[in-house]
A and B are shown apart, each in its own frame.
Chain A
Amino acid sequence: MVAELGHFALILALAVALVQATVPLIGASRNDDRLMALGRTAALTQAFLVVLAFGALTQAYVTSDFSVANVVDNSHSAKPLLYKISGVWGNHEGSMLLWALILALFGAAVAVFGAGLPDTLRSRVLAIQALIGVGFLAFLLFTSNPFERVVPAPADGNGLNPLLQDPGLAFHPPLLYLGYVGFSVTYAFAIAALLEGRVDAAWARWVRPWTLAAWCFLTLGIALGSWWAYYILGWGGFWFWDPVENASLMPWLAGTALLHSAIVVEKRDALKSWTVLLAILAFSLSLLGTFLVRSGVLTSVHAFAQDPARGLYILGFLLAVTGGGLVLYAWRAPQLQGGGLFQPISREGGLILNNLLLCTLTVTVLLGTLYPLFLDLLTGDKVSVGPPFFNATFVPLCAPLFAALCVGPFLGWKRAELWPALMRLRVAFVVSLAAALIAMTMIDSRSTLAALAFGFGVWLIVGSLWALADRLKQGTLRTTPRATLGMVIAHASLGIVVLGSVATSAWHTEVMQTMKPGDRLSFAGYAVQLDKIEQVQGPNYVAERATLIVTVGGKPYTVLQPERRLFTVQRRQVAETAIQTNFLRDFYATLGEGDPSQGWVIRLYLNPLAPWIWLGAAFMAFGGFVSLSDRRLRIGAPRSSKTRRPAAQPAE
């Protein structure tokens, strides 16, 4: 009964979305207030209906209603409540419903908070948002109905993909989707602007909070995914340049570029058509990611939900959204007139450099991800593009980006002098140079490159904080705009991420050894003894568990228990690493293959600063939220904010 209610709500939502996608659009072109007003009502109604549908599916999962096929396939009555709930989106149909839910909620948010928007712009944004919603709702209803029943209902379900039964991965998809779908709003704003034929500061002020919010969630989502890969895949690494990771990295890079170029539109009325293009691309890359993950055109760790038939639908949808947007762009964008003029050395110039580098990074990742596909189709050769390619292309491109990052905030708008800005950063320069030298001489003399990268990390932190210190000479922390504070936090956190990744990749110590119970080894000042290997029976897996006793100077230090789980139903092996952290380094142990006669393969890693990677990413998102709380950007803030804008950017 509840499942049918959900199904019915979904059908109604599609009908409402169809109305919302057409009527306000007609109203906007005819300037008919009544037709335009329908957009808001429809957006709220659609959100209500999709919430109802999502609630119905959640109810089916929580109560283990095994007459619903989706629940049978992805749940089990003995599962903990957390995984019953996360099971709702741990499958293809449910995750699409979650996507539709976030899409509708964001549409409703535009309707509620968009009172200050010009009527025509708001109507068009809501219509475009609904158009995207139509695509997802139709996809759900016609190809992936989550409410399908099974008769007769089985006694119990098949359980969730073992890899997904993990607290880290329970929240990874919703965060990622909040990011992806957040970009749908900026996309809708971009299309509406092209339809209106005007892009101005007010438009940019509306686009920026949405971009910021999407960016923050995406940052958290990516970090959570990387953390999961770090402790579950058991290779000691945190980023593998897997197609799925790249799929989420591309919109993040494009979104970061958009975040910065929107500032130029807002403050200086320049870079308009470029910003509109970025807004279209950020969402298109999100869709591309979904397509790559679900269509099965590339291999990756996300083997779930791959299906070429669905791939064709998503490809069609991707073509409609991106293609439609780009056709409109090719037609209307040449008419967007740029306003402010500026010299190459200026805040604008710095932001353009940022955009160029970020876009080059995006293209690099795109090429690296798709190259195996292109080559296979054209020549039949199988290659895989991995870390060597990205280390040789992506990493060097980061150097100028990081170098310029700290200088930008010291440049004035319109026209600036480079030398004085650099002089103000001399302390930061000296400190980071010292850090690089110390790293080179004291930590590891083999890798000059790593020491240099370490210096860059320090440069980002000190340089960003220096900008804040510079600012505080003129006022207090309270009078500093939240947007500036957010910027400083996010930029400095990037430095923390860089330090963590450099230290972990370049200076980790590892040992791989075959051990039998009772064997000892000494590793980086620790004595490690394999105490025992035992068979453990989990609820739906069998595992081998090693007990490693770690001592320092004869005194007990810690006990690590890595496992290797074989999930019997799915025939999937999952490594459960054991990690002991003190926030300066991770002691990381995994258990490999083995048997009693030959011993087991034990791998130990000491990863310096590894926790900083994810802490830094979390701080980065926090910086984004701080910036989002800026009064000037606050959603629904009175429009008088325009007059309150500091006139502190003297033209000459």
Chain B
Amino acid sequence: MRRAIFILPLLTLALMAGFFAWSLTSGRDPASIGSVMVGRPAPKLDLAALREGEPALTDALLKSGKPVLVNFFASWCTPCLAEHPLFTRLAERDGATIIGIAWKNKRDDALKWLKRLGDPFKYAGLDLEGRTGLDWGLSGVPETYLVDGQGIVRLHFRGPITERDLNERILPALKGAK
């Protein structure tokens, strides 16, 4: 009995080490806070176009048979500035279809911002009140969703996308879904 007490620290260590090894080999990402959207049909899309004279954005855009990226942005958001070049590259080099939605942003401000930095968005919508953002479970800007051709959300990024997200997750998903 007395001996068992002296073995206790060792057993505790074994238990902890088991969890650590499991964690390291499972490939989990502790930084992701998860998303309830992934694997579900995308919420409805019904928005006025950002650019004058373009048709409104509808659900049909999400079920075209081709995967699309949906990016919520705003001209007042600095991290959006950081991820912007990646979207430009995605559109120009990889031919991705990107829907940009200006969230809680004045039309003129958003258009000026896009004019200054370049406009990678095939379709652009305006969500001035933030209602669509609410439907999509947005916690802030920027956030990016990848919707497959059947209208199911496959990826959800909170915060700016990075080079690594692009190479390891977005590009494979775009290719795989085609």
Instruction: Report which A residues bind B (CB closer than 8 A).
Output: 273, 277, 280-281, 284, 291, 295-299, 308, 311-312, 315, 318-319, 322-323, 326-327, 329-330, 333-334, 370, 372-374, 376-377, 382, 566, 571, 573, 593-595, 597-598
Quick check: A299 and B20 within 8 Å, CB to CB? no
Q: Given the complex, which residues of B lie within 8 Å of A329, measured CB to CB? A: 6, 9-10
Report, nearest first, the 10 A-B pairs whose CB atoms are least far apart: A571-B82, A326-B10, A330-B7, A595-B76, A297-B23, A330-B6, A299-B31, A299-B30, A382-B34, A326-B9
9 CB contacts below 8 A, A to B, read: A311-B20, A312-B24, A322-B13, A323-B17, A334-B6, A372-B30, A376-B30, A566-B81, A593-B76
B26 at interface, CB cutoff 8 A: yes
- Chain B 26-59 interface 0/1 with A at a Cβ cutoff of 8 Å (1 = within): 1110111110000000000000000000000000
A377 to B79, CA, bound (A): 31
Quick check: B30 and A297 within 8 Å, CB to CB? yes
Q: Given the complex, which residues of B lie within 8 Å of A298, measured CB to CB? A: 30
Q: Given the complex, which residues of B lie within 8 Å of A382, measured CB to CB? A: 32-34
Identify the interface centre among A295, A308, A382, A571: most chain B CB within 10 Å of its CB: A571
Quick check: B9 and A334 within 8 Å, CB to CB? no
- Please count the residue pairs between chain A and chain B whose beta carbons lie under 8 angstroms apart in the complex: 86
- Beyond contacts A297-B24, A323-B10, A330-B7: 5 other A-B pairs, Cβ-Cβ < 8 A, are A291-B20, A297-B30, A319-B13, A377-B19, A566-B81
Q: Across the two chains, which residue of chain B brings its CB closest to A292? A: B20
> Which secondary structure dominates chain A's binding surface?
helix
Quick check: B6 and A315 within 8 Å, CB to CB? no
Quick check: A573 and B79 within 8 Å, CB to CB? yes
Quick check: A311 and B109 within 8 Å, CB to CB? no
For B, the interface residue count at a CB cutoff of 8 angstroms equals 35
Identify the interface centre among B10, B19, B22, B162: most chain A CB within 10 Å of its CB: B10
CB distance from B71 to the nearest CB of A (A): 16
Q: Given the complex, which residues of A lie within 8 Å of B23, measured CB to CB? A: 297, 373, 377
Q: Across the two chains, which residue of chain B brings its CB closest to A331? A: B6
Contact of B24 among A295, A322, A326 (CB under 8 A): A295
Quick check: B17 and A318 within 8 Å, CB to CB? yes
CB distance from B80 to the nearest CB of A (A): 11
Contact of B17 among A315, A377, A566 (CB under 8 A): A315
Q: Across the two chains, which residue of chain B brings its CB closest to A572? A: B82
A364 to B110, CA, bound (A): 49
Quick check: B26 and A296 within 8 Å, CB to CB? no
Quick check: A333 and B26 within 8 Å, CB to CB? no
Residues of chain B in range 68-118 having any CB-CB distance to chain A below 8 Å = 75-79, 81-82, 106, 109
A414 to B33, CA, bound (A): 54
Q: Given the complex, which residues of A lie within 8 Å of B77, measured CB to CB? A: 593
Quick check: B24 and A311 within 8 Å, CB to CB? yes
Identify the interface centre among B6, B22, B23, B81: most chain A CB within 10 Å of its CB: B23
Quick check: B16 and A370 within 8 Å, CB to CB? yes
B175 at interface, CB cutoff 8 A: no
B178 at interface, CB cutoff 8 A: no
Quick check: A571 and B20 within 8 Å, CB to CB? no
Q: Given the complex, which residues of B lie within 8 Å of A284, measured CB to CB? A: 13
Quick check: A370 and B19 within 8 Å, CB to CB? yes
CB distance from A310 to the nearest CB of B (A): 10
Contact of A373 among B19, B27, B31, B106 (CB under 8 A): B19
A326 to B6, CA, bound (A): 8
Quick check: B20 and A323 within 8 Å, CB to CB? no
Contact of A327 among B10, B16, B24, B106 (CB under 8 A): B10
A594 to B75, CA, bound (A): 10
Q: Across the two chains, which residue of chain A brings its CB closest to B20? A: A315
Q: Across the two chains, which residue of chain A brings its CB closest to B75? A: A595
Q: Given the complex, which residues of B lie within 8 Å of A277, measured CB to CB? A: 9
CB distance from A232 to the nearest CB of B (A): 17
